C-alpha cells in the first residue's frame, strides 16, 4: 500500500542521470534484470545487487537505499569516490528527490519522529501510547 505513490519519485531518481543533462541511466536496466530474475526472493535479489561484481550496479543499489531511507539522492559515482580510506566527510548530497520523498524518508519512522511541518499523526494522537519501534522497522 502506497497511497502517496512515492515509488514513482524513487524510480525517476534511479532511472535517469540528471547532470549535466537528463538521460537514461544505463546501469538501471542491469539492476532491474537482477531483481526480476528472482521475483520470489527479493532479499536474495537485493544481496546480489549489493555484492555485485559490477561496482556500478552496487553503488546504484546503495544510492537507492539511501533514497528510500533519507529522501535525498547521492550520485553513485560520488558514493564510489568517497568510499576510500581517508575520505572527507560528509559525502555531498546531489539533491532532495522531492518534497514527498523527503517527508516519506524511512529515517523518520526509525526515529519515531516526523519532519518539520509534516506529520502523519492526526488530531488526538497524543491520547494514545506511541507505537513501539518494532512497528516501524520490523
Task: List residues binding another protein (CB under 8 A).
Answer: 72, 93, 95-96, 98-99, 102-103, 115-118
Please spell the DSSP secondary structure of 106-130, one letter per residue: HHHHHTT---TT--S--TTGGGSPP
Query: Would you say 28 or 102 has its CB closer to another protein?
Result: 102
Helix axes 55-70, 27-36, angle to 10 degrees: 80
Sign of the dihedral through C-alpha 9, 15, 17, 23: negative
Shortest Cβ distance from residue 36 to another protein (Å)? 32
Shortest Cβ distance from residue 93 to another protein (Å)? 5
For residues 115 and 105, what is the distance between their CA atoms, to the nearest angstrom?
Answer: 9
For residues 59 and 45, what is the distance between their CA atoms, to the nearest angstrom?
Answer: 15
Query: Would you say 111 or 133 has its CB closer to another protein?
Result: 111
Query: Would you say 1 or 116 has its CB closer to another protein?
Result: 116
Shortest Cβ distance from residue 102 to another protein (Å)? 5
Question: Could you tell me if 93 and 74 are in contact, meaning their C-beta atoms sit under 8 angstroms apart?
Answer: yes
Shortest Cβ distance from residue 19 to another protein (Å)? 9
Query: Would you say 85 or 117 has its CB closer to another protein?
Result: 117
Amino acid at each position: 500500500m502506497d497511497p502517496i505513490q512515492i515509488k514513482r519519485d524513487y524510480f525517476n531518481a534511479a532511472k535517469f542521470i540528471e547532470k549535466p543533462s537528463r538521460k537514461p541511466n544505463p546501469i538501471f536496466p542491469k539492476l532491474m534484470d537482477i531483481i526480476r530474475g528472482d521475483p520470489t526472493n527479493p532479499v536474495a535479489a537485493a544481496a546480489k545487487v549489493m555484492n555485485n561484481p559490477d561496482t556500478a550496479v552496487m553503488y546504484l543499489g546503495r544510492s537507492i537505499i539511501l533514497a528510500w531511507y533519507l529522501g535525498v539522492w547521492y550520485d553513485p559515482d560520488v558514493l564510489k569516490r568517497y568510499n576510500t580510506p581517508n575520505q572527507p566527510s560528509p559525502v555531498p548530497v546531489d539533491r532532495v528527490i522531492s518534497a514527498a520523498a523527503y517527508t516519506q524518508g524511512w529515517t523518520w519512522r526509525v526515529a519515531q519522529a516526523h519532519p518539520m511541518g509534516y506529520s502523519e499523526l492526526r488530531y488526538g494522537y497524543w491520547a494514545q501510547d506511541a507505537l513501539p519501534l518494532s512497528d516501524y522497522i520490523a
